Structure 1
């Protein structure tokens, strides 16, 4: 059975789309290969040795947030560790080492209980973070918020020139990253996670909503709630962003009510015709029972106040 030919305009569009997808795939593959080539060059002329994974610690500056490494674990289990990681002798613990790059491989090898193939180099703090940042830039697998936090941590310890060299960004973007991370509590970012695919404009929008709320306690409580934590990281971001957006209509109430300490009390949803207050019975079972018990008395108190007001 012969297929129907597409009109010329649709054919051209399909061809362009196929070409764009192919180019994007080729570019991604080329970046990955360049990153591996950088690592191989660093290993050239150096002795690759096997180290006990338990004697290797992460870099003193965190770049990645915890994430899924199942694919990497499966790959190393089947093919072994193809590219060595780069470490330096630990500056404070004799017999231990510190990672410059290869954190995900280290986690995978720890999980598998295998020794680590590594190149050991004497690196200063500056050399370590530059190697760490440049390797991540080539792979482009750090999310925006991971890169921003990395920049923030580096900026507290090194000159702007070192940070710019490590991240390959200009001063303007560096300043924006630092200001954004300063605007959001660390525990709030941790609760959301790396949020792959979420860029600076969306994180900036979230930071503005947290600022408008006056106190970050409600935002932190929402992000840590069981409902949100059950979601994947990018969906946690979307849920928190949606939860912090103001409700339409007059007499708006905060969507999340929390104690001054940040403990979640209830979620409030209101429209023109009704007001709904939802209390998480898992988080606060006694409080939920207390509210139900006191509700009739609260109504009577409200009614008495109205009668007194009308009688004056």
Structure 2
């Protein structure tokens, strides 16, 4: 950005933030117009910003940011082809809040050859920023199942919206969100972070791990130690350390299980869990299936009563799509 453009933007910021408690309606309209003018300038070009001007207070969507060396080398060699997205800090117009592009930002920050990060500046509030981050995540193929599950869990826990709203933002069904949240809660953030993203380990294997956790008396902290040790000792040239950690934890749980390994499969198929704890059973009958579920939380019971029909319909649709 040239010095003259910086001065113009600074003047817009100063004027847009001017005003006193006694500001007249005309002054307020002028301030809004100036902010709109500044936003229009922001949105019609790609800026080169100092990485230190950008803060990242978003909900985490990745379990591992150590894989930026190749990206940094690429940016140093051919430049940053895809800009990041930021928005102005409402508390400080000279600073920015990251919307998405954390790996690109970290790659530039850690580079000794690239000083500026290319960025688009958008005018959006907190809710819009989370939606933009979520939309970008769904378009990225390299986010693993557990990363998406934990991201959905963080959105829900942060008060972003209901489970249905989170499902809509992530462009998945409510039942898919429900299953992902169940895995995220049962595994827990600490163990998930110890294992890592585990690319290639999909929902069925994570659900099997949940069943193994339920069938074992092993302590969670022991599994964290096993995961961390497996990642330390793994050869990154031969295997993904996080996959090695997942396999090590799964193997340890099967070994420590209080029931035979064949029983683990039965637990997964026959026992219904809530929060990782047994809460009922599913049984075959002459007419089909019978679900017996014990729910202590009355509010959840009322919600489930309303949502059950849609959930069954969604499961049926997924079965049909699989052929």
TM range (shorter): 0.5 to 0.7
Query: Residue 204 in 1 paired to residue 207 in 2?
Result: yes
Taking structure 1 as the reference length, the TM-score comes to 0.61
The aligned counterpart of 1:189 is 192
The aligned counterpart of 1:47 is 45
1:59–1:100 contact (8 Å) kept in structure 2: no
Counterpart-to-counterpart distance in 2, 1:159 and 1:248? 38
Cα drift, residue 189 of structure 1: 0.8
Q: Secondary structure at the match of 2:255?
A: coil
Counterpart-to-counterpart distance in 2, 1:173 and 1:251? 30
The aligned counterpart of 1:158 is 160
Q: Secondary structure at the match of 1:246?
A: helix
The aligned counterpart of 1:240 is 249
1:218/1:152 Cα in 2 relative to 1: closer, same or farther (>3 Å)? Answer: same
Counterpart-to-counterpart distance in 1, 2:116 and 2:167? 34
The aligned counterpart of 1:222 is 226
Counterpart-to-counterpart distance in 1, 2:251 and 2:47? 50
Cα drift, residue 75 of structure 1: 1.0
Q: CA RMSD in A?
A: 2.6
Counterpart-to-counterpart distance in 2, 1:106 and 1:142? 17
Which of the two has higher C-alpha Rg?
Answer: 1
Counterpart-to-counterpart distance in 1, 2:198 and 2:259? 33
Counterpart-to-counterpart distance in 2, 1:137 and 1:250? 38
Cα drift, residue 223 of structure 1: 2.0
The aligned counterpart of 1:137 is 138
Query: Residue 83 in 1 paired to residue 85 in 2?
Result: no
Structure 1 runs not aligned, ≥5 long: 1-42, 253-312
Structure 2 runs not aligned, ≥5 long: 1-40, 235-240, 262-323
Give the alignment of 1:106-145 within 5 angstroms.
106-113=105-112, 114-145=115-146
1:248/1:144 Cα in 2 relative to 1: closer, same or farther (>3 Å)? Answer: closer
Counterpart-to-counterpart distance in 2, 1:249 and 1:95? 59
Q: Secondary structure at the match of 1:95?
A: strand
Give the alignment of 1:231-270 within 5 angstroms.
231=234, 232-246=241-255
1:229–1:236 contact (8 Å) kept in structure 2: no
1:177/1:93 Cα in 2 relative to 1: closer, same or farther (>3 Å)? Answer: farther
The aligned counterpart of 1:60 is 58
1:48–1:117 contact (8 Å) kept in structure 2: yes
Taking structure 2 as the reference length, the TM-score comes to 0.59
Counterpart-to-counterpart distance in 2, 1:251 and 1:146? 30
1:132–1:166 contact (8 Å) kept in structure 2: no
